[in-house]
Amino acid sequence: MVATPARAPRRPRAPSRREAGMALLFILPCLLLFVAFRFGPAIAGVLLGFTDYTIGGDTSWTGLTNFRRLVEDPTFWSALRVTVLFTLLAVPLSMLASLGMALLTRRAFRGSRVFRSIFFLPVVTSLVLAGVIFTWIFADGGPWSRAMNALGLPAQSWLADEVLVIPALVLVSVWARFGYGMLILLARLHEIPAELEEAAMTDGASTCQRFRHIVLPQLRPALFFLAVIETTVSFQVFDTIFVMTGGGPVRASYNLIYLLYDQGFRYFDLGYASAIGVVLFVMTVVVALIQRLTLGRER
């Protein structure tokens, strides 16, 4: 018997120009709708930041007047301080909680899928409903104040304190977001070859050394993605603040998104509100670039 050589697998035929043109023609309506409704409002919002525009009124080009008004507005600087403080507290805590839960549920054990589902449940829970429940939890005489009293700490409503209101909102944000980050990091952890850690264990590396030199470098892309997402969400948090504090007390939780909401939908000064949105967008891009240089940089 003579063995016949195996045939090389046939490569898929590249589509012709006509076929590519027909495919583009079929997806063109959806593409146009996506561009119109995705980038159209964003471009319009940037342009409105340079105008004096009110619903039902005339529109006039004002140039940088709205941005000069921002610089001279003490409420803007107070809202910016609240936004930055909230982000500096919420992003690291959320990422640490996500990483910790991902490492705890990384190994398959009995009931691991149930625990992962429970940890992910806050992500799909309505923030308005969660805000109502946590308002009761942090209220004076609620479960949180009673727990503080049992520990010998002052029993007071954190939402009514100018200093403690931001930590209370941060705790709610971390509770609502860490399940999403856990899922992202868990997917990345499952892609790390087990042989790397086994070889390190054979060489006598401790758990901390394996995490620092093997696991953490492999998680850098996922951590960069998660940092950008969490920062963007923290800059734009609104639901929980609106439900739980309304920007109070004494505007201690009054952030940029709340200021944008008031100017645009309470006072209908859409030009000024659009200028706030432009500043917020620039802040998000700058922070994302900084995170790209630190976490997303490839060796």
Higher pLDDT, 238 or 18: 238
Assess whether the previous peptide bond of 15 is cis (omega < 30° from 0).
Answer: no
Among 220, 219, 231, smallest CA distance to 287 is for 231
CA 256 to CA 275: how far, in whole Å? 11
Calculate the average pLDDT of the chain.
87
> Which of 140, 138, 146 is CA-nearest to residue 170?
138
**Out of 18-27, 43-52, 271-280, least confident range:** 18-27
C-beta neighbour count of 39 within 10 angstroms: 10
Q: pLDDT value at position 72?
A: 93
Q: Which helix (H) or strand (E) holds 67?
A: helix 65-72
Q: Which CATH number among 3.30.70.260, 1.10.3720.10, 2.60.15.10, 3.40.630.30 corresponds to the domain 81-245?
A: 1.10.3720.10
Per-residue model confidence as pLDDT tens digits over 103-116:
888 876 777 788 88
Domain boundaries, the chain: 81-245
Q: How many other β-carbons are positioned within 10 Å of the β-carbon of residue 277?
A: 21
Q: How far is CA 108 from CA 105, 113, 281, in A?
A: 7, 8, 41
Mean pLDDT of 94-110: 86
Contact 228, 290 (CB under 8 A): no
Contact 255, 240 (CB under 8 A): no
Sign of the torsion angle spanned by Cα atoms 250, 256, 262, 263: positive
Q: 271 with 49: CB under 8 angstroms? A: yes
pLDDT at 7: 59
The CA distance from 96 to 115, in Å, is 18
